[in-house]
Amino acid sequence: MALELGEPLGYVVDGATPTSARFVSTRPPPVGDYVVIEAGGDYVLGMVRSVGTRSLTLSSLPGVYDPVVVEKLSAEAGAGDVFFECSARLLATLSGGSPRLPPLPGARVYRAPSGLLARLFGGAEGRSVRVGVLATRPDVEVRVDVNTMVTRHTAILAVTGAGKSNTVAVVADRLVRGYNATLLIFDFHGEYVGSSIGGGVNVIEPRLNPRHLSISELMTLLGVEHRFYHQERVLRKALEKVESDVFQGSFIDGLRAALEGSARQKGDEGRAAVALLNKLDSLLERYGDILDDTAVDPVSGLEPGRANVLDLSRVDEDAADVIVSHVLRILLWERKLYKLRGSSRVPFPVLVVLEEAHILAPRDEDTLSKYWLARVAREGRKFGLGLMLVSQRPKGLDQDILSQANNMIVMRLVEPTDQRYVQAASEALSEDLLEHLPSLATGEAVLVGPFTPLPALVKIDRFEGRLGGSDPDVVEEWTRTRAAGSPAEPGGSELYEEFL
């Protein structure tokens, strides 16, 4: 391969292996940048993982730590006394494949040409989407493979405020505009409801037809745990009666009538039925606004070629669990139908984006959503159903599900336990990449996985449309309130009651 490499910036020293090399330089590349190293008749591409300074004078005088002496020696030695000791992780040979032999001592090290990196990260024409630029090379755009991102699943992980929502918006907007993609975003905080992703999102209200809920979903809404076996048994009998009888009223009214009949029985059955009646009253108080006998399932509201946002901002975690599991169950079934029969209500691939994934797929707790997320993670690839997990608490996310996300966009993570947890779930996240995570700036990310040819430190593009995920300017709002000279207008009680 003919390369225009220019002048060497350094030379390999001893101790190199097929996966790593140290080199000295007077013009060091920044950490995260790429270098090309001679290796026999080929070249090896490496990623710089550390840069440290050395002094010829001070190295020859070990044990000198007096600041006055150090200052005097450094001044006398001059700038030529300083050199840099760098290390690089060796990624691939330019002829293709992994390095099998280490570079020899004295091998020349070059800064990787931007043209070479542009070819590597430019993606296939018509099959990739731009996410940003290399953090060390703003002239090199980074694109990821669309098919791999969807079918091999993706995780976006970072602390609050690091840029997760912006990343989701950038990816979703470009998928919709560039590929007529269909996305379903489970929106916990209303960040995407009014956004301009893809030219405007389709908002799906969280309404459920209780007749279509599974027994497990209904039990979750009622607060009936499986260990309350008397209540579960009475509930199952009541549901059988509601389904078999011709009842003119609502589903809830029919269920109440069946439970009232059981409540007249003596013993455990009667006591269980009374407890269920109380829980039914609580269910109506908490979820009466999302239960509707005439509602079609939320999957019917999907519009192809758009970002569909299911607004979960008005429901609690139990209701969100039921809604998400209900939708995933139907989505997986419809995609299987399409694969097997060629027709279904969802005849197009769907990328499901789950915000706050650690809430619905927790590590140490079983939820309805966790079961169906695991099913989609294992089976969805074959049926065109992809997952994008978004979380600010990776260590709280079920590791089996997280490990199914072969692609990772990892932004700033400060806690060592979060870092190690993510590393354990991804073979591609090496120790040197892990070291970058606490110091990443807002909007910077480490990309690893099959959707990118090489690990990359990327500055994610900024979404230029409307999005509700940014931090408020509290100083400006306080100042504006003081300038207005009056408290907020009373009102909003209906909205408050709905929120409660």
pLDDT tens per residue, range 393-435: 999 999 999 999 999 999 999 888 888 888 888 877 778 788 8
Query: For the chain, what is the mean pLDDT?
Result: 88
CA atoms within 13 A on the CB side of 53: 8
Q: What is the mean pLDDT of residues 268-276?
A: 91
- Which class would CATH give 141-207+295-475? alpha beta
Q: Cβ of 229: how many Cβ atoms within 10 Å?
A: 12
In the prediction, which pLDDT does 449 show?
93
Best CA proximity match to 143, nearest among 157, 132, 152, 151: 132
How confident is the model over 205-254, as pLDDT tens digits? 998 888 888 888 898 988 888 888 899 898 888 888 888 776 667 888 88
Asked whether the predicted pLDDT for residue 499 surpasses 50, the reply is no
Structure-token pair, residue 364: 């140490």
**Is 202 a residue whose pLDDT tops 80?**
yes
Better-predicted residue by pLDDT, 234 or 40: 234
Condensed to tens digits (0 to 9), the pLDDT of residues 444-468 reads 999 999 999 999 999 999 999 888 6
pLDDT in tens, 119-162: 999 988 889 999 999 999 999 999 999 999 999 999 999 988 88
> Which residues have CB under 8 Å from 487's CB, separation 6+?
none
Percent of the chain with pLDDT over 90: 54
pLDDT score, position 437: 86
CATH 3.40.50.300 domain range(s) in the chain? 141-207+295-475
